[in-house]
Amino acid sequence: SAVISQKPSRDICQRGTSLTIQCQVDSQVTMMFWYRQQPGQSLTLIATANQGSEATYESGFVIDKFPISRPNLTFSTLTVSNMSPEDSSIYLCSVELGARGNTEAFFGQGTRLTVV
């Protein structure tokens, strides 16, 4: 398994501001994933972050709103920009570990964001 640390664990932010969420993993991983989980809902993939290249965004998510950094193989950040109350969600980072063809996904503890 992996130790995945996310910071902050929660925050309350004013609309129009931005928040950067950090994700640190205790081992080197090729891909890191950022998910959003709206209240009472399932997990929706925002983007896949690869080290050394731009993140790949899913339909409905854009780089200007959710810029991602991936400076090395153990760390990534997700920024939620120009926030509105609709951005209130739990944001989770995830990594896949294991031998190729036999990987498992593990999640950070999440960042609970409330926009007021």
Partner 1 sequence: GENVEQHPSTLSVQEGDSAVIKCTYSDSASNYFPWYKQELGKRPQLIIDIRSNVGEKKDQRIAVTLNKTAKHFSLHITETQPEDSAVYFCAASITDYKLSFGAGTTVTVRA
**From candidates 5, 22, 24, 103, binder to partner 1 by CB under 8 A:** 103
Query: Interface with partner 1 includes 82 (CB under 8 A)?
Result: no
**From candidates 19, 23, 92, 115, binder to partner 1 by CB under 8 A:** 92
- Least separation in angstroms between residue 83's CB and partner 1 is 22
Site for partner 1 in 15-74 (CB under 8 A): 33, 41-45, 48, 59
47 close to 61: Cβ distance less than 8 angstroms: yes
- Least separation in angstroms between residue 18's CB and partner 1 is 24
- Least separation in angstroms between residue 88's CB and partner 1 is 15
DSSP secondary structure string for all residues of the chain: ---EEEE-SEEEE-TT--EEEEEEESS--SEEEEEEE-TT---EEEEEEETTSPPEEPTT--TTTS-EEEEETTEEEEEE-S--GGG-EEEEEEEEESSTTS-EEEE---EEEEE-
Residues within the interface to partner 1 (CB under 8 A): 33, 41-45, 48, 59, 92, 96, 100-110
